[in-house]
């Protein structure tokens, strides 16, 4: 049996080096062992107490040191422990404070655990290239590791994240139901919960927006809505003008009265979910900003053709109304802001329903008056790929308000 394999006498070892006064020496040796460093060279204790001076002197058989610090050569301690039958410094430290995990081994085990925790998410993202840059962003920012520092907790969190993403975007689903069906907890996606933070960042990625968190509750509500998730049936609404539906239905009765009066109508998701039949319309103009609807009501009143405002990021109510109109055979004509946020909104509508651009092409953009500086991340414009290139080149945004006169002229001729 080698010296290192000799089992130290526990009582003798504690009397020799296991006291409180020499705990610093044992800890320094333990740190060296954990780093796989050799137990050679010196270690120093600044400002030692008299008790620590006497304990080290007794261990080494020397007079107590009088300097401002204590310095000891680890090789001397190792040899002393071997010569006294305690198997050396490694065996002594292990006997006194338990097995020492090496730092490299601890790191390797931790990284293995983290890779395992991320596996369900990686599998969920593998078939969705639109989430690729978001997945890389999670690694770059370390957000999941901050939200769940322990890999075991992270495995639960990321597994739930993968399940939720598998359900998004949704045609329409309440937030609590989505949470209950994917996580077994109706509150798992509540504000400030770690899972909600991650899911919202993924939804923003799906919309081609910045992945970072919004500051307001309204912005988060809109983000959920852009993926077809609504917080309740009454707060999710859509603004319309000139729309008609079966007058024998409650929804048709409301729309009929408002259209006859030339007044805009704000419909709730509750109303639209309770209307089960398609809404028939040949052509429906879509705009991004409520100012277009207000101006159309002022100028055209009852003569305004069907007009729907997506009001920024479409809510669940917007998606529900567009579905009813699409099922009824409607063709959509779309206009929005010429900025990257507007492009992202338009792209989400185009992906679901398709549309004819309504003065929303590269030619229209280049002919429009100059606006403020264009900011944000560029996105594709599949209805006219040259539009994205033109916006990148011109670097100016053009908001709908600057084109209001021409948009109203188009509506008056429809």
Mean pLDDT of 229-245: 88
Domain ranges of the chain: 3-100, 104-230, 237-413
- Pairwise CA distance, residues 174 & 93, whole Å: 58
Can you give the pLDDT at residue 273?
Answer: 87
pLDDT over 70, % of the chain: 98
Residue 138 has pLDDT above 50, yes or no: yes
Least confident interval from 31-40, 268-277, 290-299, 398-407: 31-40
Quickly state the pLDDT bin for 7 (edges 50, 70, 90).
low
Residue 2 has pLDDT above 60, yes or no: no
Residue 207 has pLDDT above 50, yes or no: yes
Q: Mind listing the pLDDT tens digit for each residue in 72-127?
A: 999 999 999 999 888 889 888 888 888 887 777 777 888 899 999 999 999 999 98
Residue 22 has pLDDT above 60, yes or no: yes
Question: Is the pTM for the entire model greater than 0.85?
Answer: no
Higher pLDDT, 145 or 225: 145
- Say which residues have a Cβ less than 8 Å from residue 322's Cβ, sequence separation at least 6: 286, 308, 314, 332, 349, 352, 353
The domain 237-413 is placed in CATH, from the list 3.30.390, 3.40.50, 1.10.3470, 3.40.1360, at 3.40.1360
Structure tokens at 81: 């422990």
Higher pLDDT, 361 or 33: 361
Can you give the pLDDT at residue 50?
Answer: 93
pLDDT over 90, % of the chain: 68
Residue 216 has pLDDT above 80, yes or no: no
Can you give the pLDDT at residue 376?
Answer: 87
Residue 4 has pLDDT above 50, yes or no: no
Least confident interval from 199-213, 241-255, 317-331: 199-213
List C-alpha distances in Å: 172 to 158, 226, 228, 239: 23, 10, 5, 18
The answer to whether residues 404 and 291 touch, using CB atoms and an 8 Å cutoff, is yes
Q: Which residues are paired to 219 by β-bridges?
A: none
List C-alpha distances in Å: 296 to 50, 57, 281, 359, 405: 89, 94, 18, 16, 10
381 exposure class (CB count in 10 Å sphere: 0-12, 13-18, 19+): buried
Residue 134 has pLDDT above 80, yes or no: yes
- Going edge to edge, which strands form the sheet with 307-309? 265-268, 237-241, 307-309, 283-287, 331-334, 356-357
List C-alpha distances in Å: 63 to 57, 60, 208, 312: 6, 9, 73, 81
Mean pLDDT of 245-252: 93
Can you give the pLDDT at residue 220?
Answer: 86
Mean pLDDT of 403-412: 97
Q: Which residues are paired to 265 by β-bridges?
A: 240
Q: Mind listing the pLDDT tens digit for each residue in 59-69?
A: 988 888 888 99
Least confident interval from 92-101, 346-355, 384-393: 92-101
Quickly state the pLDDT bin for 199 (edges 50, 70, 90).
very high
Positive or negative torsion for Cα 328, 331, 335, 338:
positive
Give strand ranges (E) for 84-161.
none
Quickly state the pLDDT bin for 6 (edges 50, 70, 90).
low
Can you give the pLDDT at residue 8?
Answer: 60
Single out the residue of 235, 232, 203, 200 nearest to residue 215, CA to CA.
200
């Amino acid at each position: 049996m080698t010296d290192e394999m000799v089992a130290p006498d526990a009582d003798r070892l504690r009397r020799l080096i296991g006291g409180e006064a020499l705990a610093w020496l044992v800890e320094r040796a333990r740190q060296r062992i954990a780093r796989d460093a050799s137990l050679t060279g010196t270690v120093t204790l600044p400002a030692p107490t008299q008790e620590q001076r006497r304990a080290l002197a007794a261990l080494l058989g020397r007079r107590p040191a009088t300097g401002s610090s204590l310095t000891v050569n680890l090789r001397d301690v190792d040899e002393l422990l071997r010569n006294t039958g305690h198997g050396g410094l490694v065996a002594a430290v292990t006997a006194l404070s338990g097995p020492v995990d090496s730092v490299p081994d601890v790191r390797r085990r931790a990284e293995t655990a983290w890779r395992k925790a991320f596996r369900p998410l990686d599998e969920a993202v593998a078939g969705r290239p639109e989430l690729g840059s978001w997945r890389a962003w999670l690694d770059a920012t370390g957000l999941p590791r901050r939200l769940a520092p322990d890999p075991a907790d992270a495995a639960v969190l990321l597994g739930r994240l993968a399940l939720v993403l598998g359900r998004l975007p949704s045609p329409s689903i309440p937030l609590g139901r989505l949470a209950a069906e994917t996580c077994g907890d109706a509150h798992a996606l509540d504000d400030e919960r770690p899972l909600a933070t991650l899911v919202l960042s993924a939804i923003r990625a799906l919309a081609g927006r910045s992945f970072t968190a919004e500051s307001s509750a309204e912005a988060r509500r809109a983000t959920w809505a852009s993926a077809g998730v609504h917080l309740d049936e009454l707060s999710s609404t859509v603004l319309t003008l000139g729309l008609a539906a079966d007058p024998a239905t409650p929804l048709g009765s409301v729309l009929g009265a408002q259209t006859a009066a030339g007044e805009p109508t704000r419909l709730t998701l509750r109303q639209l979910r309770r209307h089960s039949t398609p809404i028939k319309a040949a052509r429906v103009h879509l705009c991004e900003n409520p100012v277009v609807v207000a101006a159309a009501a002022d100028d055209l009143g009852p003569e305004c053709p069907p007009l729907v405002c997506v009001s920024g990021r479409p809510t669940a109510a917007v998606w529900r109304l567009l579905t009813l109109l699409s099922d009824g055979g409607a063709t959509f004509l779309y206009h929005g802001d010429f900025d990257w946020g507007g492009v992202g909104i338009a792209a989400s509508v185009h992906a679901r329903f398709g549309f004819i651009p309504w003065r929303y092409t590269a030619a229209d953009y280049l002919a429009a008056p100059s606006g403020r500086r264009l900011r944000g991340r560029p996105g594709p414009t599949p209805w006219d790929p040259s539009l994205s290139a033109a916006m990148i080149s011109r670097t100016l945004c053009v908001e709908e308000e600057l084109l209001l006169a021409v948009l109203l002229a188009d509506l008056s001729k429809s």
